[in-house]
Structure 1
């Protein structure tokens, strides 16, 4: 399972840490017990580790929850760092029974390890909450880093001012420390006056650029990032400021052996509603000259699949080969059924003026019903569609024709005329699509299996290669 999840439970926010030649992926364990006799239980940190994002070693729970009345009954998101031979883990403590009528308080908690990422000792005397001026119910996701080896440690948090409009009071608060025990309030890292708050902040340097990564749920449930020339900002929005769409949330990054990986989770769904937590998913970042980040599948994941050429057969009078037909119609081609776990790679040459093209996933043999990955050059975007769509009534016209695609998954994507490559990783109930090793779109297919197909609308697209396996 490339998109890993524990045997009993789901992956919440992931805290990646590179150490000893492995990537250690701490995560919030969402157990979702349906047993009414189990009683309420807190949320612990669990751990898996890997060297290739293909094979995982499950280490189980490594940071257990506190007792019923403890400030860390729930152990929420944080960060892990090494300071010499000692490891430090900072996390959010939460208890629904401790707070005020505005909600439960959140506090920063500390644990240490003598070099073993699976063994931690909590340091309760280092716990602290929000200072005056900040909402005590939102003081979470501590991320600790240094801007240089001889500089003080910095901690940024998802926080809110207590005297600002609710939807615009979010701030990336900042503190400094010289000993990782006592922390002093510093000027905030970022005040966008735009969000409820910015969850899971993550700061790193790459070449001449600094990056601030965060997840937000005001405009959309997405992980975004900002760039700057200095570690203090000003923080600028790059042309493509999102890591992925709705189905890749709370992504945090890790530098491992000179490569930058983003690890998030693909949420489960209940009907049409996305839920919190799901399956672990990974993207590798690449830096473009203007500081913009491009995202693709790690080479190790691609190498785990043995692909073969897919033979396409025309449907409904389409030309024998894509790219040879007229420009004023819809044309489709269908291939063999695909396994539920496979990697699809499509390389195409797109003619100028083409309206749309893409892949039919889990399609019926006639191509009528499918999950549709549609690339739209005229709009420079990639979207996910589904046919049949939902219905509003029994009449022929009572379909969701006014919902052109899954709008929460729409991704901006440069699609000039010429050659493009699309990869789709199908992993059972989860999937990731990547265009040109730049733009990622994670999703959950609605169908478990079916045929693979290709289509083009109002244009011409030559299929240079189509492989799957």
Structure 2
């Protein structure tokens, strides 16, 4: 299982940390009690570790939630840093029994370790909340870092200004410390006047660029990033400022062996249904980032994940509904599709095509019926420079043929801007049970979940245009 999930519970926000030759993936363990406020225990941090994002070691719960009356009844998102041989864990403390009419308070908490990421102690009296001018209900997700080894520690948080427009009061607040114990408020790192708040902030340097990563739920549930030439900004939007779509949330990054990985989670849906609402937490997922010359990040699968699918076979396609014998041979003014055999539940699908100029749409049919009429559709739209996730059949409002959700052109929360000029393009799809990830040209990623996949054939299609099929292959895992 590439998209890891604990045997009991779900993966919430992931806090990646590189230490002692491994990647330690702390995460919020969501056990989904029916009534969290009435529960006997709150949310803890659990931990898995890896070196390749293929094989995982489960270390279980490593930071236990506080008791019923503690500030940290719930242990929410934070960060882990090393200071010499000592490790420091900063996290958000929350107790639903505290607060006022506007909601419960959030505070920054601290834990320490002598070097073992699985063993933590909570020092007393190192908890602090929001200072005047900030909303106490949002003072969370502390991220600690240094701009240089001889510089003070900085701590940034997801915060909100008091007495400001609700939709635009979000700010990345900042504090400074010399000893990781006493913190002094400083100028905010970023004030975009755009979001309710910027969750799970993450700051790092890569070459000549600095990056500020955050997740937001104002314009869209997405992880975004900004770039700057210095650690204090100004923070600029790159040409592609999102990591993935709706189904890859709260991603934070980690540097390991000279590479940069973004780790988030693919959410479940209510009722384990494709029609259900997105839920908080789900399955762990990873993308590797690559830096382009202008600072923009491209995202793809780690090489180790691709190598975990060594059993490769070419897909033999057959035309359906009167299509030409092969893609690229028929008319350019219609829809044409070709369908192959059933793909495994866990596999890697690779499609390489040469796209002709002015082609309206093309892509992959996943989980398809033998005639291609029912499918999960990965659709590339060159005229709009985007990819979308669609499915057929869609929902219906009644029994008549016109009572179909034809006014929903695709899963509107699952779309990505994607450069698609004429020429060669490669689409990779990782299917892992109910979860999936699409990567186009090792640049643009789109994660998704599908509960009712259908028969399982794989195929290709093109609409009002033409493409030449270079390769379509399915690879099984080694296990």
Q: Is the Cα–Cα contact under 8 Å of residues 109 and 123 in structure 1 kept in the other structure?
A: no
Deviation at 1:311, TM superposition (A): 0.6
What is the aligned partner in structure 2 of residue 462 from structure 1? 468
- Report whether the alignment pairs 1:434 with 2:442: no
1:328-369: CA deviation from partner (whole Å, max 9, x where unpaired): 011000000011100000111001111000000000001010
What is the aligned partner in structure 2 of residue 283 from structure 1? 287
Deviation at 1:446, TM superposition (A): 3.7
What is the aligned partner in structure 1 of residue 251 from structure 2? 251
Give the whole-Å Cα distance in 1 for the aligned partners of 2:39 and 2:117.
Answer: 30
**Which consecutive aligned stretches of 4+ in structure 1 deviate over 6 angstroms post-superposition?**
none
- Report whether the alignment pairs 1:390 with 2:413: no
What is the aligned partner in structure 2 of residue 372 from structure 1? 377
What is the aligned partner in structure 2 of residue 302 from structure 1? 306
Deviation at 1:35, TM superposition (A): 9.8
What is the aligned partner in structure 1 of residue 29 from structure 2? 29
1:425-453: CA deviation from partner (whole Å, max 9, x where unpaired): 00001000000000000001243451001
The secondary structure found in structure 2 opposite 1:300 is helix
The within-5 A match list for 1:87-98 is 87-98=87-98
Give the whole-Å Cα distance in 2 for the aligned partners of 1:76 and 1:124.
Answer: 18
Q: Is the Cα–Cα contact under 8 Å of residues 189 and 232 in structure 1 kept in the other structure?
A: yes
Q: Is the Cα–Cα contact under 8 Å of residues 40 and 68 in structure 2 kept in the other structure?
A: no
Q: Which moved more, 1:312-321 or 1:349-358?
A: 312-321
Give the whole-Å Cα distance in 1 for the aligned partners of 2:228 and 2:280.
Answer: 31
Q: Is the Cα–Cα contact under 8 Å of residues 349 and 464 in structure 1 kept in the other structure?
A: yes
The secondary structure found in structure 2 opposite 1:407 is coil
Deviation at 1:454, TM superposition (A): 0.5
1:398-449: CA deviation from partner (whole Å, max 9, x where unpaired): 1111110011011000000000000000000100000000000000124345
What is the aligned partner in structure 1 of residue 110 from structure 2? 110
Deviation at 1:392, TM superposition (A): 1.3
Q: Is the Cα–Cα contact under 8 Å of residues 264 and 286 in structure 2 kept in the other structure?
A: yes
Q: CA RMSD in A?
A: 1.1
Give the whole-Å Cα distance in 1 for the aligned partners of 2:144 and 2:57.
Answer: 26
1:38-69: CA deviation from partner (whole Å, max 9, x where unpaired): 94430000000001000100000000000000
What is the aligned partner in structure 2 of residue 453 from structure 1? 459
Of the candidates 414, 419, 431, which is equivalent to residue 414 of structure 1? 419
Alignment length (residue pairs): 468
What is the aligned partner in structure 2 of residue 85 from structure 1? 85
Deviation at 1:216, TM superposition (A): 0.2
TM-score norm. by structure 2 comes to 0.96
Deviation at 1:272, TM superposition (A): 2.7
Q: Is the Cα–Cα contact under 8 Å of residues 41 and 67 in structure 2 kept in the other structure?
A: no
The within-5 A match list for 1:181-192 is 181-192=181-192
Stretches of structure 1 lacking an aligned partner (at least 5 in a row): none
The secondary structure found in structure 2 opposite 1:110 is strand
TM-score norm. by structure 1 comes to 0.98
Q: Is the Cα–Cα contact under 8 Å of residues 240 and 292 in structure 1 kept in the other structure?
A: yes
Give the whole-Å Cα distance in 1 for the aligned partners of 2:81 and 2:140.
Answer: 17
